[in-house]
Structure 1
Amino acid sequence: MSTVFTNCHFFAGTNATVQADAWFVVDDAGKLTATGTGVAPAADTAVDLQGGYVAPGLFNVHTHISLDPQTPDGGAGANVVASTVRATRHLRELLKSGVTYIRECGCTYDIDIALRQMQKAGQLKQVPTIMPAGGLFSMTGGHGDVPHGGNVVDSPDEMRKAVRTAMKNGAEAIKLVATGGVMTPNDFMNDPQLSTAEMAVAVTEAHHKHRVVACHAEGNPGIMNAIKAGVDSIEHGFYVNDDEIDLMLAQGTYLTPTIVADWAFPKYAQGKVPAWMLKKATDAYDDLCHNIMHAFKRGVPITLGTDAGTVFNDFTMTPIELQLMVENGMSPFEAFNTSVNGAKLMHVDDEYGTLETGKYADFMVLDADPMQDVKAFQQADKAVYLKGQRQY
């Protein structure tokens, strides 16, 4: 059964062009078989999109679906039942916001792995495609040493065994912690944590299984340690410098800024979180915007991720990350292209990320042109489709 979608403005995501009077055809596997303008071809079913703006679904490469953004500690101590219910709700919020594919970056109880297995079996509907990571990898007392949330390792050998075990259990991505962070009380962004040797072992083991390695790294020297270890993406990278950028460019390392995670603190957290936590975030904001945009202008590939689940950073805010990128100097297309970079980072860009023939028809339908105003992605009642089937 084929479906032709007609009467739309079509943004494929490959460049900034938005085609008027457009149509596209989706086959019974959920892939695009043809696109065009003018008179549409015949198909088994026709859907009139009533002049809406079609855009590819977004990739969010940094989420924490089991966390509660309304509590200072993320609700990490909740039991597995409460955490699973919460994670499922958050997945549906992500999809409603236009996110059709996620990479988890640390999930309590390995809930993301279990949900991904249910998704593959057709038992979990109306959620984005999940690339699960399970628990993240931290040193004892490190930023990721939280209840039910991670793998605590303190040597290369411990790392090797833990990464192999995680992949055996279903982890499709590996998340490391190279520095302190905002949400832990006894460390700072410039505190190095996992060593280069420990992280290099994780990268070697993950790459043997064609897995992607993300690394929480906010300050120095942890950012450089992670890049030298060969990670695929630096997460946050607030204090990335030119020496690190040089090496990232040489190695093809991606950078996921998660600007909105820091932006949310002064906007929503005043008087609701400990003073030390608020100070860490607000002190860093101007620096991170400057440093991230400097890396972008030098050519580092930027990906779209929000750190969703952290304090007051909920699962509807992926489109706000795009807005913040534009406010800091990107064009609407350059901001959107960070989503396409996410598909490339995750090695799924042959079938996802843009609306080209042969790729899955994961898309949203908006009332306004997102290449004219990136805030169009923030529309609350947008239609969202997975593989050509409407979900919301």
Structure 2
Amino acid sequence: MIVLKNCRLVRELTEDYANQYADILIEGKYIKAIKEVGSHFDAACAEIDVCGKTVIPGLFDLHAHIDCRSQDANKMQTKDAGTILFEAYEFGREYLRQGYTTVRDCGSRFNAAIALRDAINRGIVDGPRMIASGLIVTPTERGNDTFKALYAEADGPEETQKACRKEFQKGADFIKIMGTGAFYNEGGVPGETIASFEELAMAVNVAKMKNSYVAAHCHGVEGIKLAIRAGVRTVEHASFIDEQGISLLKGNENCFMVPTMAIDMVTVDDPSLIPDHMWDKVDTLTEATRICTKNAYQAGLKLGWGSDIDFESLKNHPGYEFVARKRLLGFDNIEMLLQATKYSAEIVLLQDQLGTVKAGKYADLIVVDGNPDEDVDVMQKDLCHVIKEGKIVY
């Protein structure tokens, strides 16, 4: 057993304990008890005095691509499966180092995320808790060749049904489907709807049979609303969501928006990394994305926490999604912390196990040097400790 002593807690991220400071008892994989500072615990425990530093739940990233090493699509195309898997392992370790104890992969080549998930679950390697989608199901579309090995092409409901079943057969936890065009695909038009209602609904039906759900890549206005009506669980990006789309999500406990703003920061901080074919899209659409996402936030939508970021950008810019949502959108500190923990746990249906500091939940905890509820910039600093399922991993 482990006791974290003199922990500073954030009220909004803590359940069944009212004081700001506490000692936390960890037994095995779980939080056993949260008690007043100085409490006596009967069992022999290893003690870690965090000296008043802030303890919050482990973070979520609901939109990762664990096989994405850099912004260079050409290099991604030429790598073999072995190289990709080892690089995915390194990416997972970096996520864990930055406090992300749960990562949802929204598409990776050669089953990299599924293989990494299984290796982590078997204890072969350390890494975050992985939720994996396998290949991305997509209609035949311009730009698919940009990331050819990432897609399973399917046209019409029957082919979509088959493709989704194949991904579940290979071990996918959920289905990722393309509802609109993509920024990064050469020739892709982000606002253009590419999947029909029938294709989206078929993916949802297959997922329901597996007690799972669908995440739909959607930038465009109509594609977003189509996906919501078809019954997807998450709308990824939702870049150009309008008032009607926001209205469809307002109070909706079955469908949620997962913005991905860290990827936008690359255009600001490292513009030389952006492929030439993307700049027309970036120049004309980025500001609209920020306005629409801010509108969704101000309307009170429960937003998930995604980044869509590559390994090199994450490593070079710790806490990048916090930076992006603060700098580009002006989000409130507490609201961002809720999005990165409690809300994201609820969105992926893990709220009974994760997302808050609560006795009985997994001991997924991070110790932050500073008060992120007051100054979220401290999330850019190295963490003092990262604990996943009761094990101190950093």
**Do both share a fold (TM > 0.5)?**
yes
Partner of 2:375: 373
How far off is 1:283 after superposition?
2.8
Residue of structure 1 equivalent to 2:33: 34
CA distance 1:224–1:176, shift in 2 (3 Å):
same
| SS of equivalent residue, structure 2 residue 78 | coil
Shift in alpha-carbon separation, 1:371–1:155, aligned structure 2, 3 A:
same
Match for residue 187 of structure 1? 188
The residue number in structure 1 matching 2:9 is: 10
Q: CA deviation at 1:333?
A: 0.8
Please list the CA deviations of residues 353-373 of structure 1 after superposition, one character each: whole Å capped at 9, or x if unmatched: 111111011111121011110
33-42 or 202-211, which deviates more: 33-42
Seq. identity, %: 26
The corresponding residue for 2:336 is 335
Alpha carbons of 1:208 and 1:49: their partners in 2 closer, same or farther (altered >3 Å)? same
Residue matched to 1:319: 319
* In structure 2, C-alpha distance between the alignment counterparts of 1:211 and 1:61, rounded to whole Å: 15
Partner amino acid, structure 2, of 1:67:
C
**Using the alignment, how far apart are the partners of 1:318 and 1:203 within structure 2?**
35
CA 1:326–1:36: 2 relative to 1, 3 Å: farther
Q: 2:364 corresponds to which letter in structure 1? A: D
8 Å CA contact 2:71–2:274 kept in 1: the answer is no
Match of 1:356 in 2: 358
Change (3 A) 1:379 1:66: same
* Alignment coverage as a number of residue pairs: 387
Deviation at 1:5, TM superposition (A): 1.3
TM-score of the superposition, structure 2-length normalised?
0.92
Question: More helix per residue: 1 or 2?
Answer: 2
Which consecutive unaligned segments of at least 5 residues does structure 1 have?
none
Q: Distance in 1 between matches of 2:269 and 2:72?
A: 15
RMSD between aligned alpha carbons? 2.2
1:258 alignment counterpart: 260
Q: For 1:363 and 1:166, locate their aligned partners in 2 and report how far apart those are by CA, in whole Å.
A: 32
* Residues 219-238 of structure 1: CA deviation (Å, up to 9, x unaligned): 13221221221111111111
Report the CA distance between 1:197 and its aligned residue.
Answer: 0.8
Other structure's SS at 1:221 match: helix
Deviation at 1:70, TM superposition (A): 4.1
Matching residue's letter, 2:234:
S
Moved more, 161-170 or 74-83: 74-83
Once the two structures are TM-superposed, the CA of residue 27 in structure 1 deviates from its matched residue by: 1.0
Cα distance in 1 for partners of 2:214, 2:164 equals 11
- 8 Å CA contact retained: 1:11, 1:56: no
Q: Which amino acid aligns with 2:321?
A: E
**SS of structure 1 residue aligned to 2:221:** coil
2-structure distance, mates of 1:4, 1:385: 12
Where 2:359 maps in the other structure, the secondary structure is coil
AA aligned to 1:14 is L
User: Partner letter of residue 378 of structure 1?
Assistant: Q
Structure 1 partner of 2:154: 153
Distance 1:119 1:316, change over 3 A: farther
CA contact (8 A) 1:97 1:317 kept: no
CA contact under 8 A between 1:99 and 1:318: conserved in structure 2? Answer: no
Could you give the per-residue CA deviations for residues 76-107 of structure 1, whole angstroms, max 9, x where no partner exists? 43110111111000000111111010111001
Partner of 1:228: 229
Q: How far 1:376 moved relative to its partner? A: 1.3
1:254-310 CA deviation, whole Å, 9 max, x = no partner?
A: 11110111221232023x443331231243222212111211222321000000228
Correspondence list, 1:1-392, <5 A = 2-11=1-10, 13-14=12-13, 20-28=20-28, 30-42=29-41, 43-45=43-45, 46-73=47-74, 75-125=76-126, 127-142=127-142, 144=144, 146-249=147-250, 251-252=252-253, 253-270=255-272, 272-309=273-310, 313-314=313-314, 319-327=319-327, 328-339=329-340, 340-392=342-394
1:154 CA drift (Å)? 0.7
| CA distance in structure 2 between the aligned counterparts of 1:367 and 1:90, rounded to whole angstroms | 23
Letter in 2 for 1:220: V
Distance 1:317 1:61 in 2: 18
> Greater shift after overlay, 18-27 or 195-204?
18-27
Amino acid at match of 1:226: A
